[in-house]
Amino acid sequence: MKTATETRNYWLLVALGGLVTAIGLGAAHFMELHGHIVTGMNNQVVWGLPHVFAIFMIVAASGVLNVASIGSVFGQPVYKPRAPLSGLLCVALLAGGLMVLMLDLGRPERLVVAATHYNFTSVFAWNVILYSGMVAIVAVYLWTIFERRFNRYTKAAGLAALVWRFVLTTGTGSIFGFLVARQAYESALLAPLFIVLSFGWGLAVFLVVQAVMYGWNELLLKPEIQRRLARLLGIFIAASLYLVAVYHLTNLYFARQEAFEAFILLGRNGGGVYPLLFWGGYVAVGSVLPLVLLFHPKFGDGRSTLVAAAGVIAGAFAWLYVFIIGGQAFPLEIFPGHVVRSSFADGAVDHYVPSLPELLLGVGGLGVAFVMTVVGVRVLDFLPRDDAAKA
């Protein structure tokens, strides 16, 4: 039985999330009316800050389902009670990310055309099927969990979700991997890199949401379970850092990529803020600091794990900004060793500055995920309780 205070707080949270979502929708409407001239985007940087938010939520939506897969597919009892919340977060993050993606690309009223007419030579068309299929499979998976008559099908549904999310994240990485018009991309490493990145980002989001929900309900997580989740997050962080290093070392092996790597990693040729975001944001805050907090003997408690998870999320945004924005800002080197100049600024580094409407649209997507999560936990009781105790 919910108290009056709990009910009031619930509606306040829903109202707050709804307000953030409405502001995001208003920002999208503002950009629709005035065009991209009110954004920092241009002919060279066509995917701006909203795409950073969208790709993070989509990739994290795949990774957060890893918690459910470990419990349902691999039979780990610690993770089974967390499967419903894992599935809810997957759908919520995917919905928020797709909202931002559709509104940022422009002409959202023509979405029905994209949903009914497919160009199967385009990786974007593949993702329309992958995203909608993900929601359907997770819905069936959650149904088998909550409906006792279908509990025997939970492992099969979980296995289908596991395979589908690998394919989905491969498709997201392939959007960039198949793009030959940007030197930062066009790499077969991007598909597995996005898969590994999704593990850490998804688990970090799950740990933050679980901690907030437990605090809201005055519950405590057992220390041994906390340590187990923390160690898993540390493994994912280390694996991600390794593959990111391999990606950049692979680029450095090719002479035509040396200028781009110097631009991103060292700030040469007008690299600006990108080296700071990469080394300070992703490497230091998003990787090294969380690893210290998770594995150093002096730390390892619930608060350290929460700070580490928040650092991973901050590092994810930093890495995506460098990868997406920096990859477009650096000019395509068509003739290595030669300088190309024209009246269209060919060969020039672009200086992108995100605008307020872009930021508000991205935050609006987070608002959608927030509202769906709060309502789901309250109405359908997705919160795991079997191993929690009252604070």
Q: Is 155 exposed, middle or buried (0-12, 13-18, 19+ CB in 10 A)?
A: middle
pLDDT at 146 over 90: no
| Tokens encoding 18 | 């709804």
Give percent of the chain above pLDDT 90: 46
State how far the Cα of 230 lies from the Cα of 232, in Å rounded to an integer: 5
State how far the Cα of 342 lies from the Cα of 71, in Å rounded to an integer: 58
Alpha-carbon separation of residue 108 from 20, 34, 112, 372 (angstroms): 20, 15, 9, 21
| Nearest one of 371, 67, 373 to 209, comparing CA atoms | 373
Model confidence over 285-306: pLDDT tens digits?
999 999 999 998 887 778 899 9
How do beta strands 388-390 and 219-221 pair?
Answer: antiparallel
Model confidence over 215-241: pLDDT tens digits?
887 778 888 888 889 999 999 999 999
pLDDT at 317 over 90: yes
Region 83-110: mean pLDDT is 88
Q: What is the pLDDT of residue 198?
A: 95
pLDDT at 390 over 50: no
**Residue 246 neighbours by CB under 8 Å, 6+ apart:** 189
| Tokens encoding 342 | 């024209």
Q: Are residues 189 and 247 in contact, defined by beta-carbon separation less than 8 angstroms?
A: yes
Model confidence over 116-133: pLDDT tens digits?
777 777 777 777 788 889
State how far the Cα of 169 lies from the Cα of 176, in Å rounded to an integer: 12
